């Protein structure tokens, strides 16, 4: 079974120099990507975010979830300004959802386009921008809030096809209407960030 992985770094040329991958010959197509992440926070922050604080107080900077949602959408739109070799593409939709769990703010972002390359990086940027905004909004109460577990959860469209993460973290690929598991997703990066499975972070493989 094809894994959809590139066997080389597509953003590096034969001399080892960085380059932007040429996608001019690709046909535009519908593509989506969903990413997720968490911001671990203190019980006091959870109270304030849920509005259940016994003293009736709220966060000093106001509605953290609403601000983070807008920040995530704005971040997705600015992805090529932040990630040097990402292509500027037409984003046709970005949704950012935030949920207050008992120990964290859970974030999910989905990006959509009809273009020549994928939107995994836009989804990841939406999540991380929203997460950074949560940290900024709560740091007066919880200065050690921690961003973790940032990763792509699923993608559709493009040469490498559709896939999503299984409950065990493995990559489940959709092939001719059936699901096939291709092993545990590879992870890399800092702040708990995970590289997109199967090399999907590289635009040319999308």
Residue 161 lies in a domain: yes
Q: Which residues are annotated as a binding site?
A: 85-87, 121-122
As given in the structure block, the two tokens for residue 178 are 């059936």
Dihedral of CA 16/19/25/29: which sign? positive
Residue 74 lies in a domain: yes
Residue 12 lies in a domain: no
Residue 191 lies in a domain: yes
For residue 84, the domain's CATH number is 3.30.70.640
Residue 2 lies in a domain: no
Residue 47 lies in a domain: yes
Q: Active site includes 55?
A: no
Task: Give me the domain span that covers residue 104.
Answer: 29-199
Q: Which residues are annotated as a binding site for substrate?
A: 85-87, 121-122
- Kindly name the residue from 136, 142, 162, 168 that is annotated as catalytic: 136
Q: Are 203 and 21 in contact (CB under 8 A)?
A: yes
Domain count, the chain: 1
Query: pLDDT 10s digit of each residue in the chain, 206 long?
Result: 344 556 666 766 676 666 677 676 677 889 999 999 999 999 999 999 999 989 988 898 889 999 999 999 999 999 999 999 888 999 999 999 999 999 999 999 999 999 888 899 999 999 999 999 999 999 999 999 999 999 999 999 988 889 999 989 888 988 755 566 665 544 333 344 444 433 333 444 45
Q: What is the pTM of this model?
A: 0.79
Dist. CA 142–CA 47, nearest whole Å: 12
Residue 195 exposure: Cα atoms within 13 Å on the Cβ side: 14
Residue 18 lies in a domain: no
Kindly state the DSSP code that residue 117 receives in the 8-state scheme.
S
Q: Strands 146-156 and 91-100: what pairing?
A: unpaired
């Amino acid at each position: 079974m094809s894994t959809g992985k590139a066997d080389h770094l597509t953003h590096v040329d034969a001399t080892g120099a960085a380059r932007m991958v040429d996608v001019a010959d690709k046909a535009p197509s519908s593509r989506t990507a969903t990413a997720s992440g968490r911001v671990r926070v203190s019980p006091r922050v959870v109270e304030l975010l849920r509005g259940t604080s016994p003293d009736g107080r709220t966060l000093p900077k106001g509605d953290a979830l609403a601000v983070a949602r807008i920040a995530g959408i704005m971040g997705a739109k600015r992805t090529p300004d932040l990630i040097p070799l990402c292509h500027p593409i037409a984003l046709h939709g970005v949704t950012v959802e935030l949920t207050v769990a008992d120990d964290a703010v859970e974030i999910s972002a989905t990006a959509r386009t009809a273009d020549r390359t994928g939107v995994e990086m836009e989804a990841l940027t939406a999540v991380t921008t929203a997460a950074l905004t949560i940290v900024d909004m709560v740091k007066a109460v919880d200065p050690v809030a921690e961003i973790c577990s940032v990763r792509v959860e699923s993608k559709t469209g493009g040469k490498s096809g559709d896939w999503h993460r299984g409950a065990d973290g493995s990559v489940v690929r959709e092939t001719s209407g059936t699901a096939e598991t291709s092993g545990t997703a590879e992870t890399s990066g800092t702040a708990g960030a995970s590289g997109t499975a199967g090399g999907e972070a590289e635009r040319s493989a999308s």
